[in-house]
C-alpha cells in the first residue's frame, strides 16, 4: 500500500547527501523532507514522471570497529531492510578503492536490485574512468554529477524502471488512509485491535513487526479505510536504539502519506509536551486531524468532566482549534464506532473546494466589517482570493504589498472562511501574493 523506498548507500565522501539533495530539489512540486528527526533531511519524497518514491540518505560505510562506524552500519542495514532498490554510489574522481569492494559484497548478500551510480563526472572523467567499476560485478554504472545535475534525469528514469510494479500506491478514490498517531502507550495498537475485532468486513490484515507500522484495511458501507498503526513517537533525546530511531521515521512518513490523522491522547495523563510535538507533525503536514481521547473508561466522571477536559485540550493545543474531539475507550469499545463518521466528515472538509466568486464575496464582506490594517501610512489592499489546492485547503491572497499582510489579519480571514464554510478538522493555508490593481476587486 505504501510508496516504494530507495536507499542511497556507499563509502564516505562519494556524494550521497549531495545526490539526495539534488534528487529532492530537482523536482518542481517537491514535498518537504520530513521534520523532527535527528539527522536533517534523512528521508525525502521524490516525484518523477508521476511516480513517487521515498529516498533515504545513509551514512558512509567504513566497516571499522569503532562505535560510530558500527552505528552507521546498523542504520544502513535498517534502511536496507525497508528498501525496494539500492543506489550504490562510487566516486569517479578517486576511482575504484578496496572499500567499494566491501560495500559491493555486502549488497550482493541482499535480495535487492542494485543500481550502480558513478558520481563526480564534473571531474572530466566519464566512460573510460567508469569502466573499472565493472569489476564490482554490479553491471553498468550510471554516470552522474550530483553537484551539477549531470545525468540525474536519466538516473531517475532508470530508478522508475527498476522499482517494483507491486509497490505502486493504491489508486482508489474510495480509500481513506488513516494514521493512528501518538506517543507510546496511549493505546494506538489497542484501538487497531478493537477495530479489527469488531468489524465483520475485513479485507486484509497486514502485520509488521512490533516496531513497524501495521496496516489494516477495512471496508464499511462501501467506504474503504486503511488504518495505519504507527510506532509511538518519543522525544529525540529518548531515542537510544537505532531500531527505534527508524521506527519514528516510519511513523512520520505514515503521517505524510495519510489523509486523516487520529491523534490519540491518554485521558489519565492529559496533554503532555510530547503530545504537542506529535500533533504538530500532523498539523505541519497538512493532514485532517481528529483528537481522540482514549482510556475514557478509567476517568472518574460527573456531568461536567467531558466539557472541562475538552476545554483543557483547547488550551493546550491552541493550534488545533479546528480539530474535533472524541472521547473513547479502545479497551471497551466505547464510541469507537463513531470514529468512522468523524473520519468521513473531516476527510470531506479536507478536500473541500470553494468557488472564487464566493471567496471574493466573503473577502468583500469581511473588509467592509474590518478593514485591512495600514503600516507606516500604507493601506493593505486585497484584490482577490482564490483556492489553489485541497488537502489541505490552500488559498492565494492577492494583495498590493505582501509585507502589509500581517499575521493577525490573515488569521481573521481564516476565521471568516471557517465561519462560512466550516473546514472542521483541517488546517487552512493562506499564501500571500503580490498583484497590481488592474483586474482586482
The pLDDT, as a whole number, for residue 54 is 82
The pLDDT, as a whole number, for residue 87 is 96
Residue appearing with cell numbers 478538522 = 425
Q: For residues 421 and 354, is the Cβ–Cβ distance under 8 A?
A: yes
Q: Model confidence over 9-65: pLDDT tens digits? A: 999 989 888 898 888 764 322 233 332 222 333 667 788 888 888 888 888 888 887
- Rounded to the nearest integer, the mean pLDDT of the chain is 82
Instruction: State yes or no: pLDDT of 409 exceeds 90.
Output: yes
Mean pLDDT, to the nearest integer, of 203-231? 63
Q: For residues 338 and 330, is the Cβ–Cβ distance under 8 A?
A: no
The pLDDT, as a whole number, for residue 165 is 61
**DSSP-derived 3-state class of residue 295:** coil
Contacts of range 79-82, beta carbons closer than 8 Å, 24 or more positions apart? 79/7, 79/9, 79/246, 80/7, 80/9, 80/110, 80/112, 82/5, 82/246, 82/250
The pLDDT, as a whole number, for residue 232 is 55
Q: What is the pTM of this model?
A: 0.64
Instruction: State yes or no: pLDDT of 225 exceeds 80.
Output: yes
Q: Model confidence over 91-107: pLDDT tens digits? A: 998 899 999 999 999 99
The verdict on whether omega for the bond into residue 392 sits within 30 degrees of 0, i.e. cis, is yes
Cα gap 78→74, rounded to integer Å: 6
Instruction: State yes or no: pLDDT of 250 exceeds 70.
Output: no
Q: Model confidence over 234-249: pLDDT tens digits? A: 554 554 444 445 555 6
**DSSP-derived 3-state class of residue 123:** helix
Contacts of range 129-137, beta carbons closer than 8 Å, 24 or more positions apart? 129/92, 129/95, 130/92, 132/95, 132/96, 133/90, 133/96, 133/100, 135/96, 136/90, 136/96, 136/100, 136/101, 136/104, 137/104, 137/108
The pLDDT, as a whole number, for residue 249 is 63
Residue range(s) of every CATH 3.30.300.20 domain in the chain: 356-434
Cα gap 103→376, rounded to integer Å: 62
Share of the chain above pLDDT 70, in %: 82
Pick from 156-165, 233-242, 322-331 the range whose average pLDDT is largest.
322-331
Give the model's confidence band at 218: pLDDT under 50 very low, under 70 low, under 90 confident, else very high: confident
Give the cell for residue 279.
500533533
The pLDDT, as a whole number, for residue 198 is 52
* CATH T-level fold of 175-350: Rossmann fold (3.40.50)
Give the model's confidence band at 123: pLDDT under 50 very low, under 70 low, under 90 confident, else very high: low
Mean pLDDT, to the nearest integer, of 166-181? 70
Residues 6+ apart with CB under 8 A from 258: 177, 178, 179, 228, 287
The pLDDT, as a whole number, for residue 366 is 93
The H-assigned helical ranges of 302-389 are 305-316, 339-350, 356-369
Q: Which architecture does CATH list for 356-434?
A: 2-Layer Sandwich (3.30)
Of 10-19, 135-144, 232-241, 419-428, the range with the lowest mean pLDDT is: 232-241
Query: For 5-167, which CATH class?
Result: alpha beta
The pLDDT, as a whole number, for residue 45 is 75
Q: Model confidence over 18-33: pLDDT tens digits? A: 898 888 764 322 233 3
Contacts of range 225-228, beta carbons closer than 8 Å, 24 or more positions apart? 225/175, 225/176, 225/178, 225/340, 225/343, 226/1, 226/170, 226/175, 226/176, 226/177, 226/178, 227/178, 227/180, 227/192, 227/195, 228/177, 228/178, 228/179, 228/180, 228/254, 228/257, 228/258
Residue range(s) of every CATH 3.40.50.300 domain in the chain: 5-167, 175-350
Cα gap 57→132, rounded to integer Å: 25
Amino acid at each position: 500500500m505504501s510508496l516504494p523506498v530507495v536507499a542511497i548507500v556507499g563509502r564516505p565522501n562519494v556524494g550521497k547527501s549531495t545526490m539526495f539533495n539534488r534528487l529532492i530539489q530537482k523536482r518542481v512540486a517537491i514535498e518537504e523532507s520530513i521534520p523532527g528527526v535527528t539527522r536533517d533531511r534523512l528521508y525525502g519524497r521524490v516525484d518523477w514522471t508521476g511516480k513517487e518514491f521515498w529516498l533515504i540518505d545513509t551514512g558512509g560505510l567504513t566497516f571499522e570497529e569503532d562505535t560510530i562506524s558500527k552505528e552507521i552500519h546498523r542504520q544502513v542495514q535498517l534502511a536496507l531492510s525497508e528498501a525496494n532498490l539500492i543506489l550504490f554510489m562510487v566516486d569517479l574522481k578517486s576511482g575504484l578503492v578496496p572499500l567499494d569492494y566491501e560495500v559491493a559484497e555486502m549488497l550482493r548478500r541482499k535480495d535487492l536490485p542494485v543500481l550502480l551510480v558513478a558520481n563526480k563526472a564534473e571531474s572530466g572523467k566519464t566512460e573510460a574512468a567508469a569502466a573499472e567499476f565493472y569489476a564490482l560485478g554490479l553491471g553498468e554504472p550510471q554516470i552522474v554529477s550530483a553537484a551539477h545535475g549531470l545525468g540525474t534525469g536519466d538516473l531517475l528514469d532508470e530508478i522508475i524502471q527498476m522499482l517494483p510494479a507491486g509497490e505502486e500506491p493504491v489508486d482508489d478514490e474510495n480509500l481513506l488512509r488513516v494514521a493512528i498517531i501518538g506517543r507510546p502507550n496511549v493505546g494506538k495498537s489497542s484501538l487497531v485491535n478493537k477495530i479489527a475485532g469488531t468489524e465483520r468486513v475485513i479485507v486484509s490484515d497486514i502485520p509488521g513487526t512490533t516496531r513497524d507500522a501495521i496496516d489494516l484495511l477495512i471496508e464499511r458501507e462501501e467506504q474503504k479505510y486503511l488504518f495505519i498503526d504507527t510506532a509511538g513517537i518519543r522525544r529525540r533525546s529518548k531515542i537510544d536504539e537505532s531500531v527505534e530511531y527508524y521506527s519514528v521515521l516510519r511513523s512520520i512518513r505514515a503521517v505524510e502519506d495519510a489523509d486523516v490523522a487520529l491523534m490519540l491522547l491518554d485521558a489519565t495523563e492529559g496533554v503532555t509536551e510530547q503530545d504537542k510535538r506529535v500533533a504538530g507533525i500532523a498539523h505541519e503536514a497538512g493532514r485532517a486531524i481528529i483528537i481522540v481521547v482514549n482510556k475514557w473508561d478509567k476517568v472518574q466522571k460527573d456531568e461536567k468532566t467531558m466539557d472541562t477536559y475538552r476545554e483543557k485540550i483547547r488550551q493546550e493545543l491552541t493550534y488545533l482549534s479546528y480539530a474535533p474531539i472524541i472521547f473513547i475507550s479502545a479497551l471497551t469499545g466505547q464510541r469507537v464506532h463513531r470514529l468512522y463518521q468523524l473520519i468521513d466528515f473531516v476527510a470531506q472538509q479536507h478536500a473541500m473546494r470553494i468557488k472564487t466568486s464566493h471567496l471574493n464575496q466573503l473577502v468583500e464582506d469581511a473588509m467592509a466589517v474590518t478593514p485591512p490594517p495600514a503600516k507606516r501610512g500604507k493601506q493593505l489592499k486585497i484584490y482577490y482570493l482564490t483556492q489553489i489546492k485541497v488537502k489541505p485547503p490552500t488559498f492565494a491572497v492577492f494583495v498590493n504589498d505582501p509585507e502589509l499582510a500581517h499575521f493577525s489579519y490573515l488569521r481573521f480571514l481564516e476565521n471568516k472562511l471557517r465561519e462560512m464554510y466550516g473546514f472542521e478538522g483541517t488546517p487552512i493555508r493562506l499564501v500571500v501574493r503580490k498583484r497590481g490593481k488592474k483586474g482586482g476587486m
